Structure formats: structure tokens, C-alpha cells
Amino acid sequence: MKKILAILGTRPEAVKLAPVIKRIESYPNEFRSLVCVTAQHRQMLDQVLNLFDIKPDYDLNIMKPHQTLFDITCNALMGLKRVLEKEQPDIILVQGDTTTTFVASLAAFYLKIPVGHVEAGLRSFDKFRPYPEEINRKMTTHIANLHFAPTWQSKENLLKEGIEESTIWVTGNTVIDALLMIAEQVTSNARKWDAYFSEKWKITFDSKRIILITGHRRESFGEGFQNICGALKIIASGHKDLKLIYPLHLNPNVQQPVKNILGGIENVQLIEPLDYEPFVYLMTKSYIILTDSGGVQEEAPSLGKPVLVMRDVTERPEAVEAGTSKLVGTDVDKIVFETEKLLNDMDYYQKISHTHNPYGDGKASEMIVEVLGTV
């Protein structure tokens, strides 16, 4: 029986690894499935684990107020040393580009334990955007033994860096597996979620078009977030028939400029961060999504939602090339112009919203587990 240890620390990792973990668990005669969380993030991570009924075997619980990348790296590395030495798994699974992802890979390397990297090969080719994720992902690549690339372009990136082709599998992105599962659940319980938003925030899904906003990237702290908020203020002021909903990240570098600039505007609602289910429901009800999130860039096309990416570069160029999303950076004029175009040009909107999602069909986890059974 092959012992597989999944290591994760944040909500995005949990969402994207959950379908893989559940798939592994469905083969109890072939695999022993273990899960370790660093809890680099806490509350939002726990919500996803509960949603998918995943009970960690180990919880390092490293999150603390005002933690730095140094704190996360050191505490996670020493905590994972103890777990890996005790369990000696046949392989560890990590996902994406977080500090937990890199540190878990490094810890496994020190103990000569093979690493499988889910969502391998994404590149922005700018080591500070996204920061620190671009370098986390690259360093994980050069430690990993198995590379599960979501797209052919990701595979090409890996090949150009000298990764052996026999260790790369193009699987699609596991976030689509998770999204399709949860989207079906929430849309079939629309009354429940309508009531949830109405009772908690007095949000009703009436005739007004909704723009959903998410933003939290470190590289946008300061002037970047001020520009984003300035653009949103212009859009909200010019379209009283719109409703802008912004689930606000808890980081003070995000909260302060957003509240200072957008607080009190009648058709802008600043709400607390959402659990994954209500967030997916809100995506289904939105007309346009403005985001700097990598996961949302991948998810929104499966829901037929145009995405404006508030970053200067993206490690997910497939969506831009396919036409499901557009880079607008943190430039006020670009954000306003592209939003207005989607609001006013119905042919343009329809073209984007009906474009095929380049990130897969929801069967990525199935393929990954097939590979794990054969290596």
C-alpha cells in the first residue's frame, strides 16, 4: 500500500487538493492517505477542509498575528521535519505556489522523499510578480519528481527549464473539479444562498448587474490598491444601476485603502471574506469579475464570467490568450475602460463569456491519482 501525504497551508491549496485527496481516499486498498496542514492561513483553510470533509492527521497551526515570510518558512520547515521523519511517506503532494508548497518540498528533499507537484509549470517570468509565489513555484519545480501540469503551455515551460518529459503529465486544473462539484450544489440550493446573502448583508440578486471584486496581492500594496479603489469609485459613481461587491481580505494593507476610498459609496458593498460555497454562488450571480486571484482566473470561465485581471503580469496566460480574461493591471484608466466595454458592448461580452475554459473539464484529479498508482 502506497503512503501519500498531502501537505497544504492555505484555502486555495485546500480547494485544489481536496478533489485529489478525496479521490485517493476512494482507493483504500491501494493508498494510505494522510493530510498535514501547516495552517499558514487558519479560518479560511478550516472552512474548506470542513466543506470537503477532510480531517488532517497533522496540524502544525503555525499562523500568528503579523507573521512574515520568515516566520512561515522557519516554523513550517521545523514542523514538517517531525511529521516526515515519523511517517516516511512514499510521496508527498503539494499544490501551487505558496510558501507552504515550497517549504514542504524542501523538507521532503532533505529527507529524500519524492514530491508530486499539482499545478506545476505556471510562470509569469517576473520573480516579484506574483511575490513570493513565482519563486516558490520555480523552486518547487526543481525539487519535484512528478509534475502535474494544468495545460500544455505549463508543460512547455517545464521542458524549457530542463524538466524530463517523462515526469510531466498534462491533467487540467483540479480547481475545475472542485468548482463544478460545488457550483452544482449551490445552484441547486439557490433559495438557501439567496436567504444567506439577504439576511447577512441585505444583498439581493435583483435586476442590478453585479461586479464581484477580489484583491489581496502583496505587489499591489500601497499605490496599486489606491489605484484599484480609485477605478472602482469611478465605475460605481458612473453606474448607479450596478452593484459592486467586494469580499474584503483581512490584511490591513488591503482593508485600509479600500475602506478609506470605497467606504460609504451607496452601490459598493464591502463584506467580510466569504467561505468557498457562498463565494462560488456569488460568482454564479455576477456579471463581471475583477480580481488579482489566480484561482478565480481559472474558475470564472467555467461559469461563463468575463474576468479583468488586476495584475500587470499573470502566470496564467492561457485564459488571456483564449479571451476569457484580460490584463488591466492597477491602471485606473485601463480598469475603467475595460469594465465599461464589457458593460456597454453586448457582442463583446457574449464572445468572452462563451469562450471555452482552457483549464480543463473537471477530471484532473482522476488522472493524477491514476499516475500515482503507477509510479
**Cα–Cα dist 297/307, whole Å:** 7
Banded model confidence at residue 239, pLDDT cuts 50, 70, 90: very high
- Name the CATH topology of 190-353: Rossmann fold (3.40.50)
pLDDT of 139 over the 80 cut: yes
Spell out the SS3 assignment of the chain: CEEEEEEECCHHHHHHHHHHHHHHHCCCCCEEEEEEECCCCCHHHHHHHHHCCCCCCEECCCCCCCCCHHHHHHHHHHHHHHHHHHHCCCEEEEECCCHHHHHHHHHHHHCCCCEEEECCCCCCCCCCCCCCHHHHHHHHHCCCCEEEECCHHHHHHHHHCCCCHHHEEECCCHHHHHHHHHHHHHHHCHHHHHHHHHHHHCCCCCCCEEEEEECCCHHHCCHHHHHHHHHHHHHHHHCCCEEEEEECCCCHHHHHHHHHHHCCCCCEEEECCCCHHHHHHHHHHCCEEEECCHHHHHHHHHHCCCEEECCCCCCCHHHHHHCCEEECCCCHHHHHHHHHHHHHCHHHHHHHHCCCCCCCCCCHHHHHHHHHCCC
Mean pLDDT calculated for residue range 189-212: 94
Q: What is the pLDDT of residue 65?
A: 87
This prediction's pTM: 0.88
Higher local confidence (pLDDT), 120 or 294: 120
**What is the maximum span of the chain, computed from C-alpha positions, in angstroms?**
62
Start-end ranges of CATH 3.40.50.2000 in the chain? Answer: 2-173+361-372, 190-353
Mean pLDDT calculated for residue range 228-237: 96
Q: What is the pLDDT of residue 227?
A: 94
Name the catalytic one among 13, 133, 315, 318. Answer: 133
Mean pLDDT calculated for residue range 186-215: 94
Q: What is the pLDDT of residue 275?
A: 92
Clarify whether 97 is annotated catalytic.
yes
What superfamily does domain 2-173+361-372 belong to in CATH? Answer: Glycogen Phosphorylase B; (3.40.50.2000)
Mean pLDDT calculated for residue range 24-30: 97
Nearest alpha-carbon partner for 180 in 367, 369, 368, 363? 363
Banded model confidence at residue 286, pLDDT cuts 50, 70, 90: very high
Q: What is the pLDDT of residue 354?
A: 87
Name the catalytic one among 42, 156, 216, 340. Answer: 216
Q: What is the pLDDT of residue 39?
A: 95
* Dihedral over Cα of 368, 360, 138, 297: its sign: negative
Clarify whether 241 is annotated catalytic.
no
Name the catalytic one among 13, 23, 41, 97. Answer: 97
Banded model confidence at residue 160, pLDDT cuts 50, 70, 90: very high
Mean pLDDT calculated for residue range 105-112: 98
Name the catalytic one among 13, 41, 117, 119. Answer: 119
Q: What is the pLDDT of residue 221?
A: 85
Higher local confidence (pLDDT), 217 or 153: 153
Clarify whether 338 is annotated catalytic.
no
List the beta bridge partners of residue 117.
Answer: 94, 147
- Which of the residue ranges 171-180, 184-193, 216-225, 359-368 would you say has the lowest mean pLDDT? 216-225
Name the catalytic one among 156, 194, 249, 331. Answer: 249
Q: What is the pLDDT of residue 158?
A: 98
Q: What is the pLDDT of residue 296?
A: 92
Q: What is the pLDDT of residue 4?
A: 98
CB atoms within 10 A of CB 164: 10
CB atoms within 10 A of CB 19: 26
pLDDT of 250 over the 80 cut: no
Q: What is the pLDDT of residue 121?
A: 98
Q: What is the pLDDT of residues 313-354, one digit of tens each?
A: 889 999 899 999 999 999 999 999 999 999 999 999 999 998
Mean pLDDT calculated for residue range 33-61: 94
127 φ/ψ sector (left φ>0, alpha ψ -120 to 50, else beta): alpha
Clarify whether 216 is annotated catalytic.
yes
Name the catalytic one among 218, 275, 312, 340. Answer: 218
The distance from CA 62 to its chain's CA centroid, rounded to whole angstroms, is 21
Residue type, 284: T
Whose cell is 456579471? That residue is 287
The phi, psi pair for 31, rounded to 5°, reads -130, 145
Q: What is the pLDDT of residue 295?
A: 87
